[in-house]
Amino acid sequence: MGKFDGKCVLICYAGGGIGKAAAELFAEEGATVIVHDDSQEKLDGIGVGEKFVADLRNKEEADKLIEFAVEKGGGKIDVIVNNEDFFKGTAKIEDLTPEQFIELCDLNLKTIWHTLAAFYPKMKAQGGNVNIVNVGHVAGAAGHSKLIDYSSVKAGLYGMTKTIAKEWARFGTVRCNAVNYGPVKFSDDYPSQGPGKKGLKDLTGPMNPFGKAKFNPKDIAKIILFLASDDSKAINAEVINASGGFYTISGE
């Protein structure tokens, strides 16, 4: 018996990295997994789940994804993992263009808004009963030089996570949490959603007082699985820092 037998789990942008690792773990635990990404090429690398291609920056495509997931889930969705984690490189605040900033907001926040807004009437119809897990980053908690756009959208995810938890609590058993990851080593099997992360080196120094980066996407996926399960039913509207102490010196 798996922890998610009979459950429908939708993982957005699951073509690599943490999303792909989470899809595999949910499938191992018996879930009906719906894996989404914005191209078929990305989904071809996943060996589990029902696959759906959509650009969630478009509200109509988000609507179609939710309809597909509800159908495959037998009329409901029990878990939604928003794995939007797009990263476009580094730039100082004075060098970043408005177009670059807006692009990252659209990729990392508008997509989640569209997905949850599309799910809202379905959520009401099923009486709540859903766990939502958003993928954040410690850059949103503490800021990071040359990452004004990425830090800003990940900070914005704080407010979205807590607001959804509060607004939807009246519909029944609804929880919404987020996981901030830190020094994760992406790989060819579990690639990141943007340039710059795949070559992450071991990190030492004052912002990482506990030593080298030792984590991979599966380590973060296990925390997502925990937050989506009844094992964490006492946790709601929280942002969990899963960074091995990274940024501890800065107060996080």
Rounded Cα distance, 170 and 38, in Å: 33
Helix (H) or strand (E) holding 103: helix 98-105
Place of tokens 């995810």: 157
Per-residue confidence in pLDDT tens, the chain, 252 aa: 899 999 999 999 999 899 999 999 999 999 999 999 999 999 998 999 999 999 999 999 999 999 999 999 999 999 999 999 998 878 888 999 999 999 999 999 999 999 999 999 999 999 999 999 999 998 887 777 778 999 999 999 999 999 999 999 999 899 999 999 988 888 888 888 876 554 445 555 666 666 666 789 999 999 999 999 999 999 999 999 998 877 665 544
Catalytic center residues: 150
- What single-letter DSSP state applies at residue 215? B
Beta strands in 103-164 (DSSP E): 130-137
Instruction: List Cβ neighbours of 95 (8 Å cut-off, separation of 6 or more).
Output: none
Chain length of the chain: 252
Cβ atoms 173, 167 nearer than 8 A = no
Amino acid letter for position 132? I
Report the CATH architecture of 8-250.
3-Layer(aba) Sandwich (3.40)
Between CA 247 and CA 187, with CA 250 as vertex, the angle to 5 degrees is 15
In DSSP terms, 52 is beta-bridged to 36
In DSSP terms, 35 is beta-bridged to 11, 51
Helices (H) and strands (E) counted in the chain, each on its own, are 8, 7
Cβ atoms 228, 178 nearer than 8 A = no
Cβ atoms 168, 188 nearer than 8 A = no
